[in-house]
Amino acid sequence: MYYDEKRQEPQVRDVLPMLSRPFMPDQGMQADPERMADLGYTCFLDTQHPDRDTPTRWWFNNEKNLNKIKIGIESRGFEVIT
């Protein structure tokens, strides 16, 4: 919530669209690829962390974001498996 500067009345902002997030982690790779594509996440990267039993798929809204964020994912101990 925020306050309108003129009237000082509470106003509710619209919910941010999913594409405002450049990536989404999917622990266990459970998301449906078609549904993710419908939401705008057309690229993905499969990773495995040594402390976890199941792989994590990272969904991205474009290749540019995938390439930028991949470095940060790897720096957190995830190994790319695809």
pLDDT single digits (tens) 33-61: 999 999 999 999 999 999 999 999 999 99
Single pTM value for the model: 0.73
Enumerate the β-bridge partners of residue 43: 60
Confirm if 81 and 48 have CB atoms less than 8 A apart: yes
Confirm if 72 and 44 have CB atoms less than 8 A apart: no
- Cα end-to-end span (Å), the chain: 41
Residue % of the chain over a pLDDT of 70: 76
